[in-house]
Amino acid sequence: MSTSRTSSYKPALAWFAALGAAWVFAVVTLGAFTTSIHAGMVFPDWPLSNGSINPDGWLTEIDKFAEHSHRLFGMIMGFLAIGLVVWLQLREERGWLRKLGWTALVIVVVQGILGGKRVLLDSLAVPGFEMSLGQMLRIPHGILAQVYVCVLFAIAAGLSRPWIEGSPMNSGVSANIRRLAVISTLLVFVQLIVAAVMRHNNAGLAIPTFPLTPEGGLIPAAWDFRVAIHFAHRALAAVLTVALVWLAIALWRSPSAGRALKNVATLIVGLLVVQIFLGAMSVWTLRGPYYTTAHVIGGVSIFAVVFTVAWWSYREVIVRRETARARTPLAA
Tens of pLDDT along the chain (332 residues)? 333 444 589 999 999 999 999 999 999 999 999 999 999 999 999 999 999 999 999 999 999 999 999 999 999 999 999 999 999 999 999 999 999 999 999 999 999 999 999 999 999 999 989 999 999 999 999 999 999 999 999 999 999 998 988 765 455 678 899 999 999 999 999 999 999 999 999 999 999 999 999 999 999 999 999 999 999 999 999 999 999 999 999 999 988 888 888 999 999 999 999 999 999 999 999 999 999 999 999 999 999 999 999 999 988 888 888 777 767 655 44
Cis status of the peptide bond prior to 140, with omega within 30 of 0? no
Domain end call among 133, 165, 197: 165
pLDDT of residue 324: 76
Question: Is residue 300, in this structure, part of any structural domain at all?
Answer: yes
Domain end call among 114, 140, 165: 165
Query: Which domain does 160 fall in, by range?
Result: 7-165
Q: Count of domains in the chain?
A: 2
DSSP-assigned states of every residue in 239-302: HHHHHHHHHHHHHHH-SSS-HHHHHHHHHHHHHHHHHHHHHHHHHHTTS-HHHHHHHHHHHHHH
pLDDT of residue 47: 94
Q: Is 94 helix (H, G, I), strand (E, B) or coil?
A: coil
Do 122 and 186 fall within a single domain? Answer: no
Question: Is residue 1, in this structure, part of any structural domain at all?
Answer: no
Do 23 and 42 fall within a single domain? Answer: yes
Do 156 and 186 fall within a single domain? Answer: no
Do 143 and 122 fall within a single domain? Answer: yes
What is the pTM assigned to this prediction? 0.92
Residue type for position 207: I
pLDDT of residue 329: 54
Question: Is residue 2, in this structure, part of any structural domain at all?
Answer: no
pLDDT of residue 331: 46
Domain end call among 145, 165, 185: 165
Do 77 and 145 fall within a single domain? Answer: yes
Among 184, 117, 183, 181, smallest CA distance to 144 is for 117
